């Protein structure tokens, strides 16, 4: 690789990192501004983030349902798997399991592969290694990841028949 190509790649990488820092700072300001008035009493940062995310998801789903039911717009931002998910009768799930599905942001479904895909996506977004060491964002991400892991474990125990037999198997 020639020196001009190297310099170009170095400049491009620097510009991209600067852009990401600016976008992160703007997103953090927006988050701080929106958390202050909307925070409920006794609610931690992680709880507020989860609540806001759930509200956005519900609003998007409501918009998508309205567009799909009314045949209004042809283009939506909702993935087909979200729209076509087969809801299960609510009597099959306990209140804790329904709360676990709500934590993951999906409707109660029987398809373990869709639950796993959603879990992997959320766990990747809430990975505390993505944030600076010792920061508030890292602590909030760790709390969110713990909630996501607990919800996924509960759902997996219910949907995966081998989990109860082999999930806690210890080999020496």
What gap in Å lies between CA 154 and CA 128, rounded to an integer? 22
Same domain, 56 and 67: yes
CB 30 within 8 A of CB 121: no
pLDDT, residue 147, reads 92
How many other C-beta atoms can be found within 10 angstroms of the C-beta atom of residue 149?
Answer: 14
Q: 107-126, pLDDT tens digit by residue?
A: 888 788 888 999 999 998 88
Give yes or no: residues 23 and 44 share one domain: no
Q: Which domain holds residue 26?
A: 1-38
| 83 and 153 part of one domain | yes
Average pLDDT, rounded, for the chain: 76
User: How many folded domains does the chain comprise?
Assistant: 2
- DSSP type of residue 68: H
Residues 78 and 151 in one domain: yes
Tell me if 89 is assigned to some domain. Answer: yes
Residue 146: predicted pLDDT: 92
pLDDT tens-digit series, residues 59-99: 777 777 776 555 444 434 444 444 344 444 445 788 888 88
pTM metric for this prediction: 0.46
Q: Are 47 and 115 in a shared domain?
A: yes
| pLDDT-based confidence at residue 164 (cuts at 50, 70, 90) | low
Tell me whether residue 167 is in a domain. no
- For residue 80, the SS3 value is helix
pLDDT confidence of residue 89: 45
Q: Does residue 21 fall inside a structural domain? A: yes
In terms of pLDDT, which residue wins out, 89 or 133? 133
Calpha distance 87→89 (Å, rounded): 7
Residue found under tokens 């609540």:
51
Which tokens go with 21? 């820092």
């Amino acid at each position: 690789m020639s020196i001009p190509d190297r310099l170009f790649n170095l400049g491009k990488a620097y510009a991209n990192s600067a852009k990401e820092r600016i976008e992160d700072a703007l997103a953090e300001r927006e988050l701080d501004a929106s958390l202050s008035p909307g925070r409920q009493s006794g609610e931690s940062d992680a709880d507020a983030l989860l609540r806001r995310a759930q509200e956005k998801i519900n609003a998007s789903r409501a918009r998508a349902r309205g567009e799909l039911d009314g045949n209004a717009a042809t283009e939506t931002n909702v993935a087909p798997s979200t729209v076509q998910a087969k809801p299960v009768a609510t009597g099959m799930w306990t209140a804790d399991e329904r709360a676990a599905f709500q934590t993951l942001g999906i409707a109660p479904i029987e398809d373990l592969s869709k639950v796993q895909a959603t879990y992997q996506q959320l766990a990747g977004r809430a990975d505390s290694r993505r944030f600076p060491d010792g920061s508030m964002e890292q602590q909030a991400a760790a709390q969110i990841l713990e909630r996501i892991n607990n919800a996924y474990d509960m759902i997996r125990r219910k949907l995966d028949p081998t989990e109860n037999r082999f999930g806690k198997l210890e080999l020496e």
